[in-house]
């Protein structure tokens, strides 16, 4: 049976990387959500919070846009 979670129970691999990069850019979760909205991704501050803490799945489209807004390659968000 396929388990759709990480070994520690998170729903995504990228959340912790997103949080680190966001903090390095001195952005709040609200500011990141605003930038993602400007890039065409309909996402609220609460969704950013849920992504970062691993409670929300992230689609490939969202991942691509998040990487673009943070200025990193998509692969960097998926590193262990």
pTM: 0.92
**Residues in CB range of 24: below 8 A, 6 or more apart:** none
CA dist., res. 48 & res. 28, Å (int):
10
Residue 22 has pLDDT above 70, yes or no: yes
pLDDT score for 7: 86
pLDDT value at residue 1: 67
Q: How does the average pLDDT of the chain come out, rounded?
A: 95
Is pLDDT of 2 > 80?
no
């Amino acid at each position: 049976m396929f388990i759709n979670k990480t070994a520690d129970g998170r729903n995504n691999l990228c959340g912790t990387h997103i949080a680190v990069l966001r903090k390095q850019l001195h952005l709040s979760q609200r500011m990141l959500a605003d930038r993602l909205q400007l890039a065409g991704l309909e996402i609220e501050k609460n969704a950013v919070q849920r992504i970062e803490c691993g409670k929300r799945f992230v689609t490939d489209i969202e991942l691509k846009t998040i990487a673009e807004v943070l200025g990193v390659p998509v692969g960097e968000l998926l590193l262990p």
